[in-house]
Homo-oligomer: A and B are copies of this chain.
């Protein structure tokens, strides 16, 4: 499927066929694509919890405003960030680089993230966001629909998926066979509000 067509076709689908089972080979292909998403310094700080067990999906639905996507999707991916990824033998993230380059980058990684817990969390959100979109577009290309989700109790879901204390949940993505066509887009903002040239207009120039 063409990239532009996938971007256009991707919509937040709310109703999935609860009986569809996603073959393991498709799950693997989808996740291999997701793990090609970029991360700062190549720290690959995303972690993906694949939920297919009905009882687990139901438990997440129970702490997710009873939204049917949680239990009716074929695969629920909880996108997480490992806040200590930068410290888990970072040399391996650059093992194919020349020695001097590797040493230099590992020092930058260590200096930057060790000094700033906020930077670690921000990086988890950025990396997780990019990976979530990769996942959604790859799913679209594979004939699946998706729904990006943040409407759940993060602490409760952390307990359900056994989230380690040095990890953070970024969001979830429901993947499955949509059973209803998406509605019209609900209301896009003007292009000129989303996109500005060179710099934001100064306050005095706003009308």
Binding site for B on A (CB under 8 A): 1-4, 6-8, 10, 12, 31-33, 35-38, 40, 42, 44, 46-53, 56, 92-97, 122-123, 125-134, 136-138, 140-141, 148, 150-151, 160-164, 167, 170-171, 183-189, 191, 193-203
State A131–B92 Cα separation when bound (angstroms): 29
- Cβ contact of A191, chosen from B32, B132, B198, cutoff 8 A: B32
B141 touches A3 (CB 8 A): yes
Known contacts A7-B138, A194-B46, A150 near B126 by CB under 8 Å: yes
State A89–B96 Cα separation when bound (angstroms): 50
Measured CB to CB, the nearest residue on chain B to A161 is: B199
State A58–B76 Cα separation when bound (angstroms): 44
Measured CB to CB, the nearest residue on chain B to A170 is: B126
A82: min CB distance to chain B, Å = 9
Can you list 27 contacts pairing A with B, beta carbon distance less than 8 Å?
A: A1-B3, A3-B6, A3-B137, A4-B141, A7-B138, A8-B33, A47-B195, A47-B200, A48-B195, A48-B196, A49-B197, A50-B198, A52-B198, A92-B189, A96-B187, A97-B183, A97-B187, A122-B125, A123-B150, A125-B125, A126-B171, A129-B129, A130-B130, A130-B148, A133-B133, A162-B199, A162-B202
Which chain B residues lie closer than 8 Å to A163 at the CB level?
200
A199 touches B49 (CB 8 A): yes
A42: min CB distance to chain B, Å = 5
Which chain B residues lie closer than 8 Å to A195 at the CB level?
31, 35, 47-48, 50
A197 touches B129 (CB 8 A): no
State A153–B44 Cα separation when bound (angstroms): 22
Which chain B residues lie closer than 8 Å to A137 at the CB level?
3, 7, 134, 137
Known contacts A95-B187, A198-B53, A7 near B36 by CB under 8 Å: yes
State A93–B165 Cα separation when bound (angstroms): 36
A30: min CB distance to chain B, Å = 10
